[in-house]
Amino acid sequence: MYRSHNCGELRAAHINTEVILSGWVQKSRDKGFIVWVDLRDRYGITQLVFDEERSSKELIERAQNLGREFVIQVTGQVIERASKNPNLPTGEIEILVSKLTVLNEAKLPPFTIEDKTDGGEDIRMKYRYLDIRRNPVKNSLIFRHKVTQEVRNYLSNEGFIEVETPYLIKSTPEGARDFVVPSRMNEGQFYALPQSPQTFKQLLMVGGMDKYFQIVKCFRDEDLRADRQPEFTQIDCEMAFIEQEDILNAFEGLTRHLLKEINGVDVDKFPRIQYDDAMRLYGNDKPDIRFGMTFGELNAVTQHKDFGVFNSSELVVGIAVPGGNSYSRKEIDQLISWVKRPQIGALGMVYCRCNEDGTFKSSVDKFYTQEDLAQWAEVTGAKAGDLICVLSGDTNKVRAQLSALRMELAERLGLRNPNEFAPLWVMDFPLLEWDEDTERYHAMHHPFTSPKPEQIELLKTDPGSVKANAYDLVLNGNEIGGGSIRIHDKETQSLMFDYLGFTPEEARAQFGFLMDAFQYGAPPHGGLAFGLDRLVAILGGQETIRDFIAFPKNNSGRDVMIDAPAPIDDEQLEELSLKLNLKS
């Protein structure tokens, strides 16, 4: 028996108990005549004591030679701690050690295994197995487990069946790039790793599994950032014989359950906003509604006033920054520099101070009267003491720029409280989006998304205006889930493929199995997939997902710990019938 108790469970009630503990040496303090050692496992820390009055000289010497992260086993008696530590759950007791066994010695770690470590991200990623010993990462992984268990329990109790779907599938042309896997047994042919189990869950609906879920790995070969990984986890769900309202109600229920059980927060309202309104008011399709600063479109009150920059712009739009009139000129100049960074791309920013006496002071005063500026305040909802920030340019670009500024200002103003949760449904996305490079439409979500039934005829005359039966669930400015009502009949699906530029032969080659299945009685169905990594991070009060993934990859998609991806030898290439054509 390596341990009778773990390092986090002993209390005053255990005093005089003989125990066996095992773990890692967190640190030690040597006073010569007495040695204290903090022993750590994933449950906590227990202090060990060796002293010359009650321990042998040989035992004290062995304790003095213990290094950080040595793996040890001790036997001893639980005694009352003379100097208690109220910050430690085990702080009332310590173990008077009678036997010490070194199970494994350890090199000095490349960074300290402490909550606040001296290790940078790169070194901690390289030695991730050491980083996991630190409480912040360890607790994040335990937190993820708790969320995952709650998801499984809730969906199972709601009648959902967990079904696994294949990882080695067929490459499809929609969405991000696929990761492909060569087949040795089928020379010159490749599997693809799934970007989602989309077609399989639809086939499960055809198969009569009317409530399906799966916590599943998905893979996308795309550019990375803090909240994106090449492999990620979805809570994938599908339901049959339902309408859109059934889907929304089902997953509002799951989200409420998680917020209550994990965070102790009751959320009653899940407001809904149209995609077009989200873009108009917030500049993006995943708005954070914990705070205001909605956009005010200013074309009507700024153009044709001899200010050429605004007159030549497709959109002039502004936001009111609460209390922003207190900003110094230097602080405003810093904001202007911030929006001009390459990551944002604005050419500049116009501002207007809303003074307490009801007057206005703008950076473009010579072009606008006080009455003009009062109209700016009315459109943006600015009050006395606020600051109006105005950007202009092409509609899509300027909305994205102002959206980024809105989030930055909210961060600076402390308006993004991680302990406050504001869910939101974004509804009725465009069905199609035009791609300038390929000069054709692409599915905004995927080619199996149902158009609004009353707009199907518009596909022939104005495909860009057709709305989808699609919806995203947003939480605190992050998309945590998205889905749609699916096409469930062969005719509509064929029509959709046609408008996406597939020839009948291409559609048959790529999706013939699904089209065939629809001929055998496909029920009306739809679903939603949550991004588990992002959901867990938000519930845990974080913006990034890496600490909630045991072994994440860096921004280049590399696992620096195991040094992957890596070349394979010529023999393997030959066996797989592959030949490299590397660009120097």
Q: Is residue 559 situated within a structural domain? A: no
* 320, 395, 407, 570 from 401: Cα distances, Å: 15, 10, 10, 49
Residue 456, judged by CB atoms within 10 A of its CB (0-12, 13-18, 19+), counts as middle
What does the DSSP assignment read for 260-274? HHHH--------EEE
Residue numbers in the known binding site are 174, 220-222, 229, 445, 479, 486, 531-534
The domain boundary, picked from 360, 381, 416, lies at 416
One domain for residues 459 and 534: yes
Q: Is residue 6 situated within a structural domain? A: no
Q: Is residue 251 situated within a structural domain? A: yes
Tell me how far apart the 2 most distant CA atoms of the chain are, in Å.
Answer: 93
Q: Tell me, what CATH number does 42's domain have?
A: 2.40.50.140
One domain for residues 469 and 349: no
Strands 423-427 and 272-274: parallel
Residue numbers in the known binding site for ATP are 220-222, 229, 479, 531-534
For residue 451, give the DSSP letter: B
What pLDDT, in 10s, does the model give residues 121-144? 999 999 999 999 999 999 999 999
| Contact call for residues 386 and 332 (beta carbons, < 8 A) | no
| Token pair 């087949």 in the structure block, residue | 183
One domain for residues 335 and 226: no
One domain for residues 263 and 310: no
One domain for residues 474 and 432: yes
Q: Is residue 279 situated within a structural domain? A: no
| Contact call for residues 200 and 511 (beta carbons, < 8 A) | no
Confidence of residue 495 (pLDDT cuts 50, 70, 90): confident
Give residue 297's domain range.
291-416
Helix (H) or strand (E) holding 121: helix 121-126
What's the CA gap between 195 and 524, in Å, rounded? 23
Flag whether pLDDT at 489 surpasses 80: yes
Flag whether pLDDT at 175 surpasses 70: no
pTM of the predicted structure, to 2 decimals: 0.92
Flag whether pLDDT at 507 surpasses 90: no
One domain for residues 92 and 164: no
Q: Is residue 358 situated within a structural domain? A: yes
What confidence score (pLDDT) does residue 331 get? 96
* 88, 551, 564 from 121: Cα distances, Å: 28, 13, 17
| Contact call for residues 360 and 301 (beta carbons, < 8 A) | no
Flag whether pLDDT at 219 surpasses 70: yes
Residue with the larger pLDDT of the pair 283 and 224: 283
End-to-end Cα separation, the chain, in angstroms: 58
The domain boundary, picked from 381, 416, 451, lies at 416
The domain boundary, picked from 416, 446, 465, lies at 416
- To the nearest whole percent, how much of the chain has pLDDT over 70? 99
Q: Is residue 508 situated within a structural domain? A: yes
One domain for residues 374 and 441: no
Q: What residues contact residue 264 under an 8 Å CB cut-off, 6+ apart? A: none
Average pLDDT of 221-226? 76
| Contact call for residues 117 and 134 (beta carbons, < 8 A) | yes
* 150, 249, 428, 431 from 273: Cα distances, Å: 28, 16, 9, 17
Strands 211-219 and 470-475: unpaired
Residue numbers in the known binding site for L-aspartate are 174, 220, 445, 486
Q: Tell me, what CATH number does 365's domain have?
A: 3.30.1360.30
Amino acid letter for position 440: R
Q: What residues contact residue 380 under an 8 Å CB cut-off, 6+ apart? A: 295, 296, 298, 318, 319, 320, 388
What's the CA gap between 486 and 320, in Å, rounded? 40
One domain for residues 450 and 390: no
What pLDDT, in 10s, does the model give residues 91-125? 999 999 999 999 999 999 999 999 999 999 999 99
The tokens of 262 are what? Answer: 């994990």
- Mark out the alpha helices in 165-295 (DSSP H runs): 198-206, 244-263, 275-282
What confidence score (pLDDT) does residue 140 get? 97
One domain for residues 259 and 170: yes
Q: At residue 27, what are phi and psi to the nearest 5 degrees?
A: -170, 165
What confidence score (pLDDT) does residue 173 get? 65
Q: Is residue 565 situated within a structural domain? A: no
Q: Tell me, what CATH number does 194's domain have?
A: 3.30.930.10
What confidence score (pLDDT) does residue 394 get? 97
The tokens of 226 are what? Answer: 């803090």
One domain for residues 405 and 455: no
Residue 223, SS3?
A: coil
Flag whether pLDDT at 227 surpasses 80: no
One domain for residues 169 and 150: yes
Q: Is residue 554 situated within a structural domain? A: no
One domain for residues 435 and 390: no
Mean per-residue pLDDT of the chain: 94
Number of domains in the chain: 3
Cα-Cα-Cα-Cα torsion 372, 348, 339, 223, nearest 10 degrees, comes to 120
